[in-house]
Structure 1
Amino acid sequence: RYQGAVVRARAEKYFLGEQPTKRAMEEEKRYAMSKEIPEIEQNSVLIQDKAIIANVFCEHYKELFGNNETSKDYEYLKELVSLLPQLDQQSTKELEEPFSIDEIEKAVDALPNKKTPGPDGITAEFYKLRKNILCPILLAIFQEAYATNSLPPSFLRTHTILIPKTDDKQKLLHVTGYRPITLCNVDYKIFAKMLTNRLQRVICDLVGNHQTCGIRGRAIQTNVHIARSVLECVTDSSNQIAILQIDLAKAFDRVCHSVLFTILSYVGVGNMIFEGVKMSYSNCYTSLVINNNVTTKIPVRSSVRQGCPLSPLLFTLYLEPLCQSIKRSEQVQGYVLCKTEIKVQAYADDVAYFCKDKKSVTHAIELT
């Protein structure tokens, strides 16, 4: 009991071999209280009733995770999809091989320890401890899922916790002051990690060097170095440059699933990845964890899960049509650095445009 309290309290004060006592229970309570949302403001009215607070957040996320697709958005993005590269037949064929025990074991070994589990309460440590027993079972489950085109219901059920975006108490009075983080069951995380490992093989062929999030061998420091180099060159010359930091509000939460599926189909990632992603985002739902209570189910018809190992790569693919439209536009003039024209740099939804003149700025904004 005390050991469980140490884990839930995120305690780091206990050394190897030290036995936790009642202090661990007290630390768990303090940790839980620090995560509470004591009050929010709605229509200029301060609300402190926990049931009403939970209801306000539920209504907000029902709307946010609802299907936000419109015919105009879909048709426009469909045109942008044609800007993406496509994999050759050999690359697609290699991605379509059935999953193996080795892939499952690799995914299990890569799971981070001491992470909050999903709704079933089973931790990554348990899967690692019983890997030799569980991996063959997981393989059978995955094979059945592809045969029936549906994942087990537990894979599609998640909890969502709300993490403060800021220390500003005034901003935390509003639902927008919190970031939703999805807690997935570990068996789903293993499945998602396997899809991620496969997608990593070809992601560099599909997403340009301007995007550095989640892609093996790329780092955000590259973006920083490029921006700094551009500014230094401009400072030392008579040239000018406008750098626009684009704020894509709630970008992960507004990902339209049908557009995501269209992109995956177009670039040719193969049946294993395409159907795997489609199953992962079909008939899924979440429940918010607010003030130590779990809310009713909220259908998830848009968004990629923040907290899922697959989400960064899915989002980079989703954003790539926009980045390509900026790069290929003749009306957007960037900055030439070492014989390479820099127009856009991105780390997930943190996007920066490099524009040579006002006309380029105007057109880049119109494309966004």
Structure 2
Amino acid sequence: MVWTKQKQKILRRGGKDTQENYKKELHNPDNHNGVMTHLEPDILEWEGKWALESITTNKASGGDGIPVELFQILKDDAVKVLHSICQQIWKTQQWPQDWKRSVFIPIPKKGNAKECSNYRTIALISHASKVMLKILQARLQQYVNCEFPDVQAGFRKGRRTRDQIANICWILKKAREFQKNIYFCFIDYAKAFDCVDHNKLWKILKEMGIPDHLTCLLRNLYTGQEATVRTGHGTTDWFQIGKGVHQGCILSPCLFNLYAEYIMRNAGLEEAQAGIKIARRNINNLRYADDTTLMAESEEELKSLLMKVKEESEKAGLKLNVQKTKIMASGVISSWQIDGETMETVTDSILGGSKITADGDCSHEIKRRLLLGRKVMTNLDSILKSRDITLPTKVHLVKAMVFPMVTYGL
């Protein structure tokens, strides 16, 4: 089936190498037959209860077909059983195979529906596994939060895409005020989350001080991962996954952020002199997960930053999508070529859903937002004119669908 070939092409590379390297890395004095003997504190029952209660309801079930509502109806009985299972996994670091399985559902995007590349996939995983994953996520947080710099806003509590939009708008405003030229590069990676090398990920976790016990749990979760693709025509055979972070897993954003942070550290961005000097601080990048914006006060500095990031990204298995990577400047800029491809120079770019212009003029984005709001109102026209729908319902619709569209990022 074409969907099986497409997903295998993306996710299976590196499978044999990953397994071989995994075996080599088991030589650890605290590691006996792949099981860590120096363990983190046991899982408490209240952690299992908290994790179960925090799982979002009204979500499709994974391969086991068990809805989360069933566990929540059973309450304390379910908590006791799930706590026992989670504690067993915690001690042995061995996961049930059903908890390693994902069901991919293709969702069409724009373009030709006959092309697999014009689909995005969502992944369904076992709701029972989410209890263990949430507990593991909470244990990881105390170690990973201190590793992320302020410039990384992706998947972090209290941070949003709007933060980075506001930062760039403020930088452009100040540049215009002091008559300085600013040069931006909006980096786009080709399938970044699907290209994470598992071996490198485990080494990165070790370098960043994540306890061996937690790393072993993650490594064993990733070993032997399987997936199937479900469409309206049926379900494919199960196939192995050899690379990429686990789609649908709540741990994946955090793991990818650590992976990206490792790349940026190796690129030496924090120590680099290139960048924009603001309040005695040098800023040369802003990030939201894999969406990376490089910035500098000269074309040469920006190119130097880009080549460093490109080199370190390729070492880690991430490849820049040159066709979608854009250059924007408030001053004159020449044409760039990377790997024989010409990079596009633009006067505006969509960043995090908001339009950023080289001149820093927000009026363009305000007009665009008003136009998008009008389009939504036009689509709701028949509903808003209907006499069968009450006024409060119409007001709720406008507040939910029109207001966010108009005010986002402003």
TM-score by length of 1: 0.73
1:171-209 deviation per Cα after TM superposition (whole angstroms, max 9, x unaligned): x33211112221110111111111112222232211111
Equivalent in 29, 37, 58 of residue 4 of structure 2: 58
Please state if 1:276 is matched with 2:220: no
**What amino acid does structure 1 have at the position aligned with 2:201?**
L
- The residue number in structure 1 matching 2:380 is none
Contact 1:334–1:355, Cα closer than 8 Å, also in 2 = yes
Contact 1:161–1:182, Cα closer than 8 Å, also in 2 = yes
1:270-307 deviation per Cα after TM superposition (whole angstroms, max 9, x unaligned): 14421221121111110011225111112111111232
Q: 1:361 deviation in Å?
A: 2.1
Q: Identity across aligned pairs (percent)?
A: 24
Contact 2:94–2:220, Cα closer than 8 Å, also in 1 = yes
Please state if 1:363 is matched with 2:307: no
Contact 2:294–2:306, Cα closer than 8 Å, also in 1 = no
- The residue number in structure 2 matching 1:267 is 208
CA distance in 2: counterparts of 1:292 and 1:186, whole angstroms: 25
Compare CA radii of gyration and give the structure with the larger one.
2
Please list, as runs of the form range in 1=range in 2, the aligned pairs for 1:332-343 lying within 5 A after superposition.
Answer: 333-343=274-284
Please state if 1:303 is matched with 2:249: no
Contact 1:98–1:272, Cα closer than 8 Å, also in 2 = no
Equivalent in 46, 49, 58 of residue 102 of structure 1: 46
Q: 1:329 deviation in Å?
A: 4.7
Structure 1: gaps (5+ residues): 1-54, 72-94
CA distance in 2: counterparts of 1:366 and 1:357, whole angstroms: 15
Please state if 1:327 is matched with 2:298: no
- The residue number in structure 2 matching 1:112 is 56
- The residue number in structure 1 matching 2:166 is 225
SS in structure 2 of the partner of residue 302 of structure 1: coil
**What amino acid does structure 2 have at the position aligned with 1:62?**
Q
Contact 2:15–2:241, Cα closer than 8 Å, also in 1 = no
CA distance in 1: counterparts of 2:75 and 2:289, whole angstroms: 33
CA distance in 2: counterparts of 1:282 and 1:113, whole angstroms: 28
1:240-290 deviation per Cα after TM superposition (whole angstroms, max 9, x unaligned): 111111101111111111111111112122144212211211111100112
Contact 1:67–1:301, Cα closer than 8 Å, also in 2 = yes
Contact 2:222–2:246, Cα closer than 8 Å, also in 1 = no
SS in structure 2 of the partner of residue 115 of structure 1: coil
CA distance in 2: counterparts of 1:326 and 1:292, whole angstroms: 49
SS in structure 1 of the partner of residue 55 of structure 2: coil
Residues 336, 173 of structure 1: CA spacing in aligned structure 2 closer, same or farther, 3 A cutoff? farther
Residues 231, 173 of structure 1: CA spacing in aligned structure 2 closer, same or farther, 3 A cutoff? farther
**What amino acid does structure 1 have at the position aligned with 2:141?**
Q
CA distance in 2: counterparts of 1:70 and 1:124, whole angstroms: 35
Equivalent in 101, 105, 115 of residue 174 of structure 1: 115
Please state if 1:191 is matched with 2:135: no
Equivalent in 77, 88, 100 of residue 156 of structure 1: 100
**What amino acid does structure 2 have at the position aligned with 1:56?**
V
Q: Higher relative contact order by CA 8 Å / sep ≥ 6: 1 or 2?
A: 1
1:315-363 deviation per Cα after TM superposition (whole angstroms, max 9, x unaligned): 1111102222252353x61112232221111111111111222222222
SS in structure 2 of the partner of residue 96 of structure 1: coil
CA distance in 2: counterparts of 1:338 and 1:251, whole angstroms: 33
Please state if 1:257 is matched with 2:198: yes
Equivalent in 141, 149, 159 of residue 200 of structure 1: 141
Give the superposed CA RMSD: 2.0
SS in structure 2 of the partner of residue 249 of structure 1: coil
Q: 1:108 deviation in Å?
A: 0.8
CA distance in 1: counterparts of 2:249 and 2:177, whole angstroms: 44
1:6-58 deviation per Cα after TM superposition (whole angstroms, max 9, x unaligned): xxxxxxxxxxxxxxxxxxxxxxxxxxxxxxxxxxxxxxxxxxxxxxxxx1221
1:86-114 deviation per Cα after TM superposition (whole angstroms, max 9, x unaligned): xxxxxxxxx92221111111111110111
CA distance in 1: counterparts of 2:210 and 2:275, whole angstroms: 31
Residues 115, 104 of structure 1: CA spacing in aligned structure 2 closer, same or farther, 3 A cutoff? same
1:119-157 deviation per Cα after TM superposition (whole angstroms, max 9, x unaligned): 111112112111311222222222322433310111111
Equivalent in 292, 314, 318 of residue 351 of structure 1: 292
Q: 1:235 deviation in Å?
A: 1.4
Contact 1:69–1:256, Cα closer than 8 Å, also in 2 = no
CA distance in 1: counterparts of 2:75 and 2:268, whole angstroms: 46
TM-score by length of 2: 0.66
CA distance in 2: counterparts of 1:69 and 1:122, whole angstroms: 30
Q: 1:68 deviation in Å?
A: 4.1
SS in structure 1 of the partner of residue 269 of structure 2: helix
Contact 1:66–1:299, Cα closer than 8 Å, also in 2 = yes
- The residue number in structure 2 matching 1:24 is none
Contact 2:66–2:127, Cα closer than 8 Å, also in 1 = yes
Please state if 1:144 is matched with 2:144: no
Equivalent in 237, 255, 258 of residue 317 of structure 1: 258
Structure 2: gaps (5+ residues): 18-38, 311-410
Please state if 1:135 is matched with 2:96: no
SS in structure 2 of the partner of residue 354 of structure 1: strand
Residues 133, 70 of structure 1: CA spacing in aligned structure 2 closer, same or farther, 3 A cutoff? closer
- Higher mean alpha-carbon deviation, 283-292 vs 336-345, is at 336-345
Contact 2:284–2:294, Cα closer than 8 Å, also in 1 = yes
Contact 1:203–1:215, Cα closer than 8 Å, also in 2 = no
Q: 1:312 deviation in Å?
A: 0.9
SS in structure 1 of the partner of residue 166 of structure 2: helix
Please list, as runs of the form range in 1=range in 2, the aligned pairs for 1:285-296 lying within 5 A after superposition.
Answer: 285-296=226-237
CA distance in 1: counterparts of 2:229 and 2:219, whole angstroms: 23
Contact 1:323–1:344, Cα closer than 8 Å, also in 2 = no
